[in-house]
């Protein structure tokens, strides 16, 4: 039987599930939103480890006033700390803040690269969460719940909308920095089918394992192998009725399409030199993270629904000044280039960009040595900063406020579940209606709460 006759036979043999169903399972088919969306794609710039909002976005003169002094118990009552005690001394910030753009957005001297994008951002100074340790806070930010095992935001978005890319996964993860603490839990599909799980692109070698064929295997031979495996899997599914076999079939199909399309996606050298320079590809400091930002733009151009660009770790319990500067030097320039590049290509209106970590840092110092340069900040869930841009977000505003020391929110509080509800709303989905039946009840990303933050909407 020649190759064409064999493939025709296998295609007819495996027609039970249908190509349309395969598209659904792989996330490649698009689904209608609940209402007209403002955004089509998401790029989540996840700064794992929790950046210090007090040294980047939210200047507090009281930190200098009380530097080195403990706070009265009345100010620390009800606060949970991971490593320090409630009587720890205040840590003033050496950072200098400047207002940029017509909006007057305040950035510290570590973020001067964001001057050109100041008027594109919706900065939220009043974020808060329930967890003061990394893993439960990661789970809450990504899955809406502090316990592991639930689908992440990218998986929910892909489940709700599908992907416009037939040749790439609908949810892709790019990572730089030190190894993060929650790892695959940040892009898991939980109890959703595996086809909605994020695909991690590796930093070295093939971005996905076994992406390249051995030299002796042609594309036609590879396709024939896939056809045979698909036919056998279909037979197994018809006998057992196991839905996971359908996910496995879809995974094989996506793997083959990725082998054909991913090499072209990764050819960043074909970008104009000024674009590569803007993203920092010509500097060792910014090359890895800048490449991921550029790839994120190329991915949303190709219809990838959700891209997470992760950089870790911002968990600066010591040497805050040195390590915070290092992370900002690595990320600030490429992020500014990403926003400007999306805007210049007409993609920012349809792409929602979200920046932030799982919580913030305390105004109290973590003095592991009695040395200011070695001092750091502990975890702080009660008040931190995130920002959004594009995709129907109100641009050029700073919303929410905290007290004089940044201990707690005083105005416009936004819980992590509220942020999730707002992201889904911008994508045209009602967070209370995007549900999945599991273990006898309906689950959703926002668990049992969450309110769309209308002040964020354009």
Which helix (H) or strand (E) element contains residue 10? helix 3-13
Alpha-carbon span 199 to 308, nearest angstrom: 10
Pairwise CA distance, residues 56 & 143, whole Å:
26
Whole-angstrom Cα distance, residue 436 to residue 423?
18
196-200: average pLDDT:
93
Least confident range from 23-27, 174-178, 206-210: namely 23-27
Q: Which SS3 state, helix, strand or coil, does residue 344 take?
A: helix
* pLDDT of 79 over the 90 cut: no
Alpha helix segments (H runs only) across 185-306: 219-240, 243-265, 273-278, 287-301
For residue 393, the number of C-alpha atoms closer than 13 Å in the C-beta half-sphere is: 28
**pLDDT of 185 strictly over 60:** yes
Task: Pull the structure tokens for residue 51.
Answer: 């950046």
pLDDT digits (tens, 9 = 90+) for 324-353: 999 999 999 999 999 999 999 999 999 999
151-173 burial string, b = 16+ CB within 10 Å, else e?
bbbbbbbbbbbbbbbebbbbbbb
- pLDDT the model gives residue 22: 39
Q: Whole-angstrom Cα distance, residue 86 to residue 73?
A: 7
339 domain residue, yes or no: yes
Q: Cα dist. 207→175, 200, 204 in Å?
A: 11, 8, 7
* pLDDT for the residue numbered 244: 73
Residue 18's pLDDT band (boundaries 50, 70, 90)? very low
Work out whether the CA dihedral 232, 242, 28, 199 comes out positive or negative.
Answer: negative
Note the pTM of the prediction, 2 decimals: 0.88
- Same structural domain for residues 178 and 259? no
pLDDT value of residue 4: 39
Asked whether residue 234 is assigned to any structural domain, the reply reads yes
Q: Burial, 20: exposed, middle or buried (Cβ in 10 Å; 0-12, 13-18, 19+)?
A: exposed
pLDDT for 121 beyond 80? yes
Residue 402's CATH number: 3.40.720.10
- Which pLDDT does position 401 carry in this prediction? 97
Does residue 225 surpass a pLDDT of 90? no
In-domain check, residue 275: no
Contact 22, 284 (CB under 8 A): no
- If asked whether residues 12 and 161 sit together in one domain, one would say no
Residue 14 within a domain: yes
* pLDDT for the residue 76: 83
* SS3 (DSSP) at 13: helix
Q: Is 12 part of a structural domain of the chain?
A: yes
Quick one: 296 and 159 in the same domain? yes
Identify which has the larger pLDDT, 86 or 382: 382
* pLDDT score of 2: 46
Do the bridges between strand 414-415 and strand 121-128 make them parallel or antiparallel, or are there none, so unpaired?
Answer: parallel
Calculate mean pLDDT across residues 429-457: 97
Token pair in block for residue 84: 């320090």
Q: What is the mean pLDDT of residues 146-150?
A: 94
For residues 153 and 389, give the distance between their C-alpha atoms in angstroms, rounded to a whole number: 18
- The sign of the torsion formed by the CA atoms of 422, 423, 424, 425 equals positive
User: Please, what is the Cα angle at 123 between 117 and 125, to 5 degrees?
Assistant: 150
Residue 26 sits in the same domain as residue 56: no
> What are the φ/ψ torsions at residue 20 (nearest 5 degrees)?
-65, -45
Let me know: does 200 contact 335? Beta carbons within 8 Å: no
Question: Do both 9 and 136 map to the same domain?
Answer: no
Q: What is the pLDDT of residue 341?
A: 98
Question: CA neighbours within 13 Å on the CB side: how many for 57?
Answer: 28
| Ramachandran angles phi, psi of 238, nearest 5° | -65, -35
Kindly state whether residues 59 and 202 are assigned to the same domain: yes
Chain CA centroid to CA 43, Å:
6
- The lowest-confidence range among 45-59, 220-234, 276-290, 415-429 is 220-234
Q: Do 178 and 247 sit in the same domain of this protein?
A: no
Q: What is the mean pLDDT of residues 93-102?
A: 97
134 and 217 housed in the same domain:
no
- Predicted pLDDT of residue 10: 37
Structurally, the chain folds into a number of domains equal to: 2
- The region of weakest confidence among 101-105, 249-253, 316-320 is 249-253
**Averaged pLDDT, 26-42:** 86
pLDDT given at position 20: 34
Region 224-241: mean pLDDT is 79
pLDDT tier, 13 (very low <50, low <70, confident <90, very high otherwise) = very low
What whole-number distance in Å separates Cα of residue 358 and Cα of residue 149?
18
Pairing assessment for the beta strands 97-100 and 397-399 based on DSSP bridges: unpaired
Residue 182 Cα distances to 45, 83, 204, 303, 304, angstroms = 16, 19, 21, 27, 23
> Which residues pair with residue 246 across a beta bridge?
none
Asked if residue 273 belongs to a domain, the reply is no
pLDDT at position 224 is: 80
Q: What local confidence, expressed as pLDDT, does residue 181 receive?
A: 65
| Lowest-confidence region among 41-55, 183-197, 286-300, 377-391 | 183-197
- Going by their DSSP bridges, the two strands 435-438 and 441-444 should be labelled as antiparallel
Strand blocks (E) in 133-220: 171-177, 199-201
Are residue 197 and residue 324 in the same domain, yes or no? yes
**Does 42 lie in the same domain as 23?**
no
Q: List the domain range (segments joined by +) for residue 447.
A: 37-207+281-456
Mean pLDDT across the chain: 89
241 in the same domain as 360: no
108/169 same-domain check: yes
DSSP summary character for residue 182:
S
Q: Does residue 60 register a pLDDT over 90?
A: yes
Residue with the bigger pLDDT between 45 and 6: it is: 45
Name which of 23-27, 81-85, 168-172 the model is least confident about. Answer: 23-27
Mean pLDDT of 266-270: 91
Percent with pLDDT over 70 in the chain? 88
| Span 67-73, average pLDDT | 89
Confidence of residue 24 (pLDDT cuts 50, 70, 90): very low
| Residue 274, domain member (yes or no) | no
Domain end, chosen from 196, 230, 265, is at: 265
pLDDT of residue 414: 98
Out of 230, 265, 300, a domain closes at 265
In a domain, 270, yes or no: no
Do the beta carbons of residue 16 and residue 232 sit within 8 Å? no
């Amino acid at each position: 039987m020649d190759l064409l006759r064999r493939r025709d036979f296998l295609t007819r043999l495996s027609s039970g599930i249908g190509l349309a169903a395969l598209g659904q399972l792989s996330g490649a088919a698009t689904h209608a939103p609940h209402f007209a969306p403002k955004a089509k794609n998401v790029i989540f710039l996840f700064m794992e480890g929790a950046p210090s909002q007090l040294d980047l976005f939210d200047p507090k003169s009281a930190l200098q006033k009380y530097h080195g002094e403990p706070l009265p118990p009345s100010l620390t009552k009800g606060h949970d700390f991971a490593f320090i005690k409630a009587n720890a001394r205040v840590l003033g910030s050496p950072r200098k803040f400047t207002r940029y753009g017509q909006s007057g957005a305040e950035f510290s001297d570590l973020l001067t690269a964001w001057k050109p994008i100041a008027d594109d951002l919706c900065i939220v100074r009043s974020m808060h969460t329930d967890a003061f340790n990394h893993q439960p806070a990661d789970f809450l930010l990504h899955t809406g719940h502090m316990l592991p095992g639930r689908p992440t935001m990218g998986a929910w978005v892909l489940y709700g909308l599908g992907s416009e890319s037939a040749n790439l996964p609908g949810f892709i993860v790019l990572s730089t920095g030190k190894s993060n603490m929650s790892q695959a839990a940040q892009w898991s599909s939980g109890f959703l089918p595996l086809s909605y799980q994020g695909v991690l692109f590796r930093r070295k070698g093939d971005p996905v394992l076994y992406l390249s064929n051995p030299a002796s295997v042609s594309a036609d031979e590879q396709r024939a192998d896939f056809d045979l495996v698909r036919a056998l899997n279909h037979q197994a599914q018809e006998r057992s009725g196991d839905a996971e076999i359908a996910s496995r079939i879809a995974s094989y199909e996506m793997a083959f399409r990725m082998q054909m399309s991913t090499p072209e996606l990764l050819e960043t050298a074909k970008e104009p030199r000024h674009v590569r320079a803007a993203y920092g590809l010509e500097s060792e400091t910014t090359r890895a993270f800048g490449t991921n930002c550029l790839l994120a733009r190329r991915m949303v151009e190709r219809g990838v629904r959700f891209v997470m660009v992760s950089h870790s770790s911002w968990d600066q319990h010591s040497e805050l000044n040195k390590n915070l500067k290092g992370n900002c030097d690595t990320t600030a320039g490429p992020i500014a280039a990403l926003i400007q590049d999306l805007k210049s290509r007409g993609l920012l209106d349809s792409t929602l960009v979200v920046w932030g970590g799982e919580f913030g840092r305390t105004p109290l110092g973590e003095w592991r040595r009695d040395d200011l340069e070695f001092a750091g900040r502990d975890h702080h869930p009660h008040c931190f900063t995130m920002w959004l841009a594009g995709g129907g977000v109100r641009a050029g505003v700073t919303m929410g406020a905290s007290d004089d020391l940044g201990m707690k929110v005083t105005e416009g509080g936004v819980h992590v579940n509220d942020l999730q509800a707002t992201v889904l709303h911008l994508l045209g989905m009602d967070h209370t209606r995007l549900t999945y039946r599991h273990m006898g009840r309906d689950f959703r990303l926002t668990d049992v709460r969450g309110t769309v933050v209308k002040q964020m909407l354009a």
